Amino acid sequence: MIDVDALAQAVGLNDWHDDRDWHLAKLSFSQRALPLYADHVMRVIAALRGKARKCLVLDLDNTLWGGVIGDDGLEGIALDQGDARGEAHRAVQAAALDLRRRGIVLAVCSKNDDQTARLPFREHAGMLLKEDDIAVFVANWEDKASNLERIAQRLDIGLDSLVFLDDNPVERSQVRQALPQVAVPELGEDPSSFVRTLMLGGYFESVAFTPEDLARADQYQGNAHRAELMESSRDLGQFLRSLAMTIQFAPFQAQGRKRITQLINQTNQFNVTTRRYTEAQVAAMETSPDHFTLQVGLVDRFGDNGMICAVICHRRPDEWEIDSWLMSCRVLNRKVEESVCNRIAREATAAGAKRLVGVYVPTSRNHIVAQLFAQLGFLRADSPDDLQRWVLDLSSFQPFDVPVTEAV
């Protein structure tokens, strides 16, 4: 859906409508407004294709507050109500909080001493943002491009999921040059324009809003804590067992349909075929005798990860073909892949199938699953087309031993 009325109000009705264009071609808006309308159409299409950004990375000095905390001290930075400059920076924080409530992850990337950078979050009464709102907090004296890479790695998302908000034109230029995948809004000198510039960029467009969206920021924050724990653990098996993971399997159903459709259309990296399906097509699969569907949730001691995986298989008498297998990268390398394979193999065997066929369609972004089927014991098969096909003999398949409890 596109809110055309809001666009018309932003432009002004007199400028939005053109009688001549209406009589000539029944255009409901003037040709002058066409670029703006087209931009908003493409935002929705981009969101459908998984191009929306996931994380807002914030600079601190002269972005979240006026002044430099290391020089001006806690009492010298501008954040007070009644002060125009302070209110402009508070508006940036309020916008960031609104985005977080929509599931956008917040991170900090600042050239600062860590303890000094955290001081306003902990002690300044004018701060709207708190430390608990920030999934990854990076404050040091390294270049910001390197720190942005560190943030993406810690959150286990791509650089093309980041939007970096920084008042300093030199820092913006350096990030654009080093990391062209990162979106960097061009801010003016007046902080009162920062929020409008950020929001007009259309970086965080969404076509649906689900309960998982509400929890996403907390989920990524939990993922960052898991990454910290993993870095401090030398034994991967012990680390995985310490997470106390419980996996939940269910067929596609109406209650999770929006989230399933969202996963199918927005997951690009862990996605073996990147085939896209509409909500109506997903609904049809729920009752189709020719399809096996699986939605997967995961809970651990850091919290509920929500729905993290979806699988679609074509049922045939002797074989099941995996049409789609996609998973959130935030649970990668936690034996979820093996758990899902165990479940598909068990269901296929119970239905009388003798083999599983996995299909891999290479793209520029899904190389992380190039060897998925090989790692799960599938063997490469000859294929008459350009697709990679892999076959698993169910008669000899031995379930993987996984540190994951399957919910009843």
pLDDT, tens digit (0-9, with 9 covering 90-100), for 1-22: 788 898 899 889 888 989 998 9
What's the CA dihedral at 325, 331, 334, 338 to 10 degrees?
-10
Name the pLDDT band for 216 (thresholds 50, 70, 90). Answer: low
pTM of the model as a whole: 0.60
CB atoms inside a 10 Å sphere around CB 192: 14
Mean pLDDT of 126-141: 93
Mode of pairing for the β-strands spanning 379-381 and 388-393: antiparallel
- pLDDT at position 383 is 77
- Residue 52 CA to residue 60 CA, distance in Å, equals 24
> What is the pLDDT of the chain when averaged over all its residues?
90
- pLDDT at position 213 is 65
- Residues above pLDDT 70, as percent of the chain: 93
CB 198 within 8 A of CB 188: no
Does 240 score more than 60 pLDDT? yes
- What residue ranges define each of the domains in the chain, with the CATH number in brackets? 1-48 (no CATH), 53-200 (3.40.50.1000), 245-406 (3.40.630.30)
What 3-state class would DSSP assign to 247? strand
Burial code (b: 16+ CB inside 10 Å, e: under 16) for 392-401 equals bebeebeebe
- Residue 8 CA to residue 122 CA, distance in Å, equals 43
Q: Which of 37-46, 162-171, 369-378 has the lowest mean pLDDT?
A: 37-46
pLDDT tens track for 257-316: 998 998 898 888 899 999 999 999 999 999 999 999 999 999 988 788 889 999 999 999
Q: How far apart are the first and last CA of the chain?
A: 39
